[in-house]
Amino acid sequence: MPLNLVVYEVRYVLLAMLYFTHCFTTRIKNSAIDKCIYWVLTVIPLLMLCIPQFTYLVTDTKDLFEFVTVLVPFTEIFLTNLKMIICNMKRSKIINLINELQVEWAEYQKSDSEEIQQLLKTTAKKTRIFVIVYTFTFVLICVEYATLPLMKSVYHHVFSSTQSNYTISLPYIAKFFYSTEGSTSFTLTYVFIIVAVYILALTLSGFDSLFSTLAMHITTMFKFLKIEIVQLELDLRAGVATSELHAKLKKIILKHKFNLSLIDQLEDGFSFYLMIQFLTSSIVVCVVLYELTIVFGWNEDTVKTLTYLPGAILQLYLFCWYAQNITEEARLVSDHIYNMPWYLSDPALQKTILTLMVKAQKPAGVTASKFYMVTLQSFQRIISTSYSYFTLLQTINQQ
């Protein structure tokens, strides 16, 4: 039974990050305890990473290069922390979306259609592979960044053949309200930073995977709808009784309305989240490109800088890709309705078919805080904007 749950693999990630503690049920409950626990977890990266980095950024940066060096990790960390706050505030809406999708998904699992069963298996396989690869990749990238000074220290003191005076430092440039010079304070600070990075890494992979897999399931729901429209077309050609045709068309209309409501709920839960992601990716891509034009040679700074670029681009592309799929599948519904032999039906059925077709022609999709539809064109626009900001930074630096 658990394998029939929607967003099944994502639930493990959400459990690991303590967003839910009881999530392997058909209907997830909105627990006040879970919400409080997650608020506490949100404070850890805020205190150990966001505030210290912001303090250093404002008070201790001496030039533009140092400013952008600190700005890259600070932007990613701060906006990820903001995502934690957003998703905790939107918790009830996200849970409601998962529960409603679960109910309809369970109905399709009872279907005798081989095509529908194949779509169910394909969607489950795609989501499983995506969540595993995506989560592993981001946790690996974040942990690699956080433990780079530690690994470098181990190399110099254990594996290096020559004596080294290398002194380990914190993975992020930051200014704390206490001294980290002592071994005890430094060790405790480093440990809590790694804990904070772990929380942020799971936040990145968990909520990104949740949006992507929900988008995959909603996309599949529209594919189910197209199968039912094709079946209605076959019934029309076969001369099935008018009353039965009206009943099937009414069922299709209700399911189309339900699918559109799923899109609205997905947007309601993640619209501002997407806006934050676009802002993050735009800043990170711009600043990382600028920093790479200044840092020459393969050194620790280069490795740290390169850590952020693929992650920012990958996140941006995946959001746009899965949102685009929803828009495309929703649009194709009208094409399937148009191809129906509506002229074989009675006038009342023809009028209903026409109304449904007009409704399906309206663009449906997810927006970023109502500013614009999230599609692959959005991806191109943001990358282009980031490059424009990058050239502006270069001009400022040359002057």
- Taking the domains of the chain in order of start, what are their residue ranges? 4-398
Do 127 and 216 contact (CB within 8 A), yes or no? yes
Do 352 and 247 contact (CB within 8 A), yes or no? no
For 51, the token pair is 């505030």
Share of the chain above pLDDT 70, in %: 94
pLDDT one-digit tens code per residue, 283-328: 888 888 877 776 544 556 666 667 778 888 888 899 999 999 999 9
pTM of the model: 0.89
Q: CA 196, CA 334: separation in Å to the nearest integer? A: 47
Beta pairing partners, 367:
373
Q: Rounded mean pLDDT of 2-11?
A: 79
Q: CA 183, CA 178: separation in Å to the nearest integer? A: 13
Q: Rounded mean pLDDT of 133-150?
A: 85
pLDDT grade for 1, boundaries at 50, 70 and 90 = very low
DSSP 342: G
- The pLDDT of residue 143: 84
Q: Rounded mean pLDDT of 157-185?
A: 82
Do 170 and 189 contact (CB within 8 A), yes or no? yes
Average predicted confidence (pLDDT) for the chain: 87
- The pLDDT of residue 225: 93
Q: CA 271, CA 274: separation in Å to the nearest integer? A: 5
Do 8 and 123 contact (CB within 8 A), yes or no? no
